[in-house]
A and B are shown apart, each in its own frame.
Chain A
Amino acid sequence: MGLDIKLPIGIMFSLFGIILTVYGFITYNDAFMYTKSLGINVNLWIGIVMLVFGGIMLFFSNIKKK
């Protein structure tokens, strides 16, 4: 099928990554919010993980085209 699935996956995870990373920064000093997650700013961390994953997917979907 003519669609390379790596492209939509890459875009979606990059978007998710940006949203959660930014949200993680905005709420960086909100200690109360993160008591749930044992004081870890999980939004920032998982946001970065998703940015990296999305980036890898985009990278490979580009390589194939060239």
Chain B
Amino acid sequence: MNYFFDLNFVDWLLLLIYFVFVLGIGWTLKRYMKDANAFLEAGRSLPAWVTGLAFISTNLGALEVMGMTGSGAKYGMLTTHFYWIGAIPAMIFLALFMMPFYYGSKARSVPEFLKMRFDEKTRGLNAILFAVMTILASGISMYALAILTESVLGWNFHVSLVASAVIVLAYTYMGGLSSAIYNEVLQFFIIVIGLLPLVILSLTDLGGWSGLEEQLAPIVTEKGYAADTWTTTWKYTADAKSNPLGVEWYGIGVGLGFVLSFGYWCTNFLIVQRAMAAESKLAARNTPLIGAIPKMFIPFLIIIPGIAALALMNMPEKGFALPLNAANQPNYDYTIIMLLKQYYPAGLLGLGITALLASFMSGMAGNVSAFNTVWTYDIYQSYIRPVSGDKKADDKHYLKVGKMATIFGVIASIAAAYIAGLFGNIMDFLQTIFSMINAPLFAVIFLGMFWKRSTGHAAFTGLLLGFLFALLHHGLTAPEGATTLVKGGWLGVVHTYPVEMAQSFWTAIIACFVSAFTTIVISYSTKQLKSEKELVGLVYSLTPRETEEDTTWYNKPTNLAMLVGLILVMLSVIFW
């Protein structure tokens, strides 16, 4: 199979201009990086539309675009659950209920919030787990990028790995978090405009939405599902066996819509950091809501072309096929690549490739800029060289540490990229890690914010036990037909799930509930060491109710939240 792209000078020109601007933004911001606050927190000075777009752009990384297009072909419109029920309610909750405490507490990171609300050991545990997780995530991003450039553009794997790392390092080192956020905004627009022709061309080719449904019907029936399974979202979720996700509606609702999404969108510092960089509490609360609006429409850009790809594969006259993997099955990770090759002529192709590279870099830079903050404030400043005491250091010192952490983060990512190369499906692997670390964290932070009785010892034990039970669950279960121990069952298989997705949903559900249960039980049996005075601004019931900020109606978080909720309901009804 030939999936090699032949780029001409126009394509190269677009790529070159893009890199010049990416580095140029970092270069321009360099002179503002005078202290650690400017470098690691963007000086809390960005407008809500910038942080809002960065908020979703961070998540629109490599795995997202390639993985979700592939999932579109594999699972159809059911994939939109990751964007709708699996993101929007959590984003609304973050904006309305959690952001006032994150932003108002002046915590510089999620681990630091844990320190303020609970204690030092809870912060330490979370900071270390988070640091490891972001490095792995960024390594996986880099690995995917290098594989892509090798197979598609013919660049050497090792050279493109290092080259992409150097570019990301250059602009995050020069401009810190602001540079990462500004570039995420630029990348967001490139991704949207670069992929827009793909959905238009693929749907036109198949005769529109109804043409797509017609083409899919026989293919889907042959797989043993109802004819419109690939073009509906909730219709066939009454029974796990009648939809390709292999999960029922309550599994989707609780696993994805609650545990996984609240764990990811409400407590992952990588995401929350974008909102924390906003210029005011109001802007911070509006960040997830402004991000939610484009978020709901991203499936049309990346999932629908994937669904179209499934139809195209079964129309020999179109000459569309996916490369085969080692097991002789179509490699769905290449769906978007093959679609670009199918429809994009020279010129537009350069734009499409730029969009893909942009998405890779945005994932990587986001991780690096979150890593350096947690490293500097929560690990270095807490354990290695504190602000007070005999080893006292000034702000210049922490700025230097932040910059060094950026370099270290990129180097560690390169190492992680080579480790990632040893695993099969990168998307699922990442999901496994996320669910083990984020789901217990959400339970703990939620109880911390809304239950003043929860204690530090309880939070720490809750985090630890949640993670250990998730690990245990992963070790005792396996998806059907799993061939590697990475997929689970490394302690012996007690239960087999029909698909990997179901396994990771249940891993997250168990982690979250074990953690919540542990935190509640231990809170009752330990003493609250924090006085009520210390908890003001951190716990809901002890914080004076604020009246809705005095602002125009379209800037009010509750109004925006209602608008977002309304669009979500409308989309769910239309694509029921």
Is B343 interfacial (CB-CB < 8 Å)? yes
Is B127 interfacial (CB-CB < 8 Å)? no
B201 touches A38 (CB 8 A): yes
Closest residue of A by beta carbon distance from B204: A38
A5 touches B50 (CB 8 A): yes
Within 8 A of B (CB), among A1-56: 1-3, 5, 8-9, 11-13, 15-16, 19-20, 23-24, 27, 33-34, 36-38, 40, 42-43, 45-46, 49-50, 53
- Tally of chain B residues near chain A (CB < 8 A): 36
Kindly identify which residue among A3, A11, A43 contacts B348, using a CB–CB cutoff of 8 Å: A43
A42 touches B193 (CB 8 A): no
B346 touches A8 (CB 8 A): no
B347 touches A36 (CB 8 A): no
Count chain B CB atoms within 10 A of each CB in A11, A19, A38, A46 and give the residue with the most: A46
Instruction: List B contacts of A12 (CB < 8 A).
Output: 17-18, 21, 186
Is B230 interfacial (CB-CB < 8 Å)? no
Q: How many A-B residue pairs have CB under 8 A?
A: 94
Give the CA-CA distance A59 to B575 in the complex, in Å.
37
Least Cβ distance of A6 to chain B in Å?
9
Q: A1-B45, A38-B204, A42-B201 given as contacts; is B21 within 8 A of A8 (CB)?
A: yes
A37 touches B42 (CB 8 A): no
Least Cβ distance of A9 to chain B in Å?
6
B342 touches A20 (CB 8 A): no
Is B96 interfacial (CB-CB < 8 Å)? no
Interface class of chain A by DSSP:
helix
Closest residue of A by beta carbon distance from B202: A38
Count chain B CB atoms within 10 A of each CB in A24, A40, A45 and give the residue with the most: A40
Give a binary string over B501-532; 1 marks a CB under 8 Å from any A CB, 0 the rest: 00000000000000000000000000000000
Instruction: List A contacts of B18 (CB < 8 A).
Output: 12
Q: A1-B46, A2-B32, A13-B189 given as contacts; is B25 within 8 A of A37 (CB)?
A: no
Give the CA-CA distance A11 to B196 in the complex, in Å.
20
- Tally of chain A residues near chain B (CB < 8 A): 29
Count chain A CB atoms within 10 A of each CB in B25, B342, B351 and give the residue with the most: B351
Q: A19-B14, A38-B204, A38-B205 given as contacts; is B186 within 8 A of A5 (CB)?
A: yes
Is B477 interfacial (CB-CB < 8 Å)? no
Within 8 A of A (CB), among B161-217: 178, 182, 185-186, 189, 193, 196-197, 201, 204-205
Q: A1-B43, A8-B25 given as contacts; is B201 within 8 A of A37 (CB)?
A: yes
Instruction: List A contacts of B493 (CB < 8 A).
Output: none
Is B10 interfacial (CB-CB < 8 Å)? yes
Closest residue of A by beta carbon distance from B13: A19
Q: A1-B43, A3-B25 given as contacts; is B189 within 8 A of A37 (CB)?
A: no
Using CB atoms and an 8 Å cutoff, list the residues of chain A in contact with chain B: 1-3, 5, 8-9, 11-13, 15-16, 19-20, 23-24, 27, 33-34, 36-38, 40, 42-43, 45-46, 49-50, 53
A/B interface sample: 26 pairs, CB < 8 A:
A1-B32, A1-B38, A1-B43, A1-B182, A2-B32, A3-B28, A3-B182, A5-B50, A5-B182, A5-B186, A8-B21, A8-B24, A8-B186, A12-B186, A19-B10, A20-B10, A20-B348, A23-B347, A24-B347, A34-B345, A37-B197, A38-B205, A42-B197, A43-B348, A46-B193, A46-B196
Sorted nearest first, the 10 A-B pairs with minimum C-beta distance are: A43-B347, A1-B178, A23-B347, A12-B21, A5-B182, A36-B345, A42-B348, A33-B345, A23-B10, A3-B28
